[in-house]
């Protein structure tokens, strides 16, 4: 939905348009609005360990005979949170308690499970003090992702979704987190592997041995 409301697929200017807003929370602390090509991330309270943000966007959809006017706001917010988590290397969620629990520093819980901040570097630090170059990277990243062809956009969002899921489960089941990350890498390899290997790309030691043996074969 986030890519759709950018308007890149619309053929006419005859559209329904609405102001959309959502709330998200994060351990990423920043003091200024971050305006991207599809939405603006604006801090509300940046003095506490968990920062409150308002996500503002223009919801737009083409007018047609189906009568559909508006749908998918929750998915828009979620997709923007995923992009923010990945690009800013921080934890974003619509649930403030969730952010507080995941980013709280606990050496070991009652069940013997360590805090995520002890297992994953940077992502669960509290607070993460933002830098200008990080926010600029986020803006550029969102623009590049939105500009992708539809099938590649969905593949990228799917991988980021699984990546964030892996982070969320790291303090519950480390093996599961690792498996999810491996799945992400395999999915990316299958979706985006346009590389065509040639003979010179193989291991030189093996290639040289095969070359020497193949030269002995009489092709006649």
Q: Are 16 and 90 in contact (CB under 8 A)?
A: no
In order along its 220 residues, the chain shows pLDDT tens digits of 788 877 776 776 767 788 899 999 999 999 999 999 999 999 998 788 899 999 999 888 777 756 666 667 899 999 999 999 999 999 999 999 999 888 886 655 555 566 787 788 899 998 999 999 999 999 999 999 999 998 889 989 999 999 999 998 888 888 899 899 888 888 777 776 666 667 777 778 888 888 887 787 766 5
Q: Could you write out the three-class secondary structure of 65-109?
A: CCCCCCCCHHHHHHHHHHHHHHHHCCCEECCHHHHHHHHCCCCCC
Q: Please give the structure tokens belonging to residue 128.
A: 């993460």
How is the chain split into domains, by residue range? 4-214
């Amino acid at each position: 939905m986030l890519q759709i409301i950018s308007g890149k697929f619309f053929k006419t200017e005859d559209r329904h348009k609405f102001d959309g807003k959502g709330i998200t929370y994060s351990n990423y602390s920043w003091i200024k609005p971050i305006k991207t090509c599809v939405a603006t991330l604006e801090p509300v309270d940046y003095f506490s360990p968990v920062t409150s943000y308002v996500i503002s966007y223009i919801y737009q959809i083409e007018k047609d005979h189906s009568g559909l006017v508006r749908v998918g706001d929750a998915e828009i917010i979620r997709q923007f949170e995923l992009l923010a988590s990945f690009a800013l290397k921080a934890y974003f969620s619509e649930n403030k308690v969730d952010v507080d629990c995941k980013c709280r520093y606990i050496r070991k819980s009652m069940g013997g499970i360590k805090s995520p901040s002890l297992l994953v570097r940077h992502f669960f630090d509290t607070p993460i003090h933002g830098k200008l170059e990080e926010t600029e990277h986020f803006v550029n990243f969102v623009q590049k992702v939105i500009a992708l062809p539809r099938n590649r956009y969905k593949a990228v969002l799917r991988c980021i979704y699984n990546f964030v899921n892996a982070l969320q489960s790291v303090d519950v089941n480390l093996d599961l987190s690792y498996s999810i990350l491996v799945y992400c890498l395999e999915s990316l390899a299958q979706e985006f592997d346009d590389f065509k290997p040639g003979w010179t790309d193989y291991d030189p030691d093996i290639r040289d041995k095969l070359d020497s043996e193949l030269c002995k074969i009489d092709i006649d």
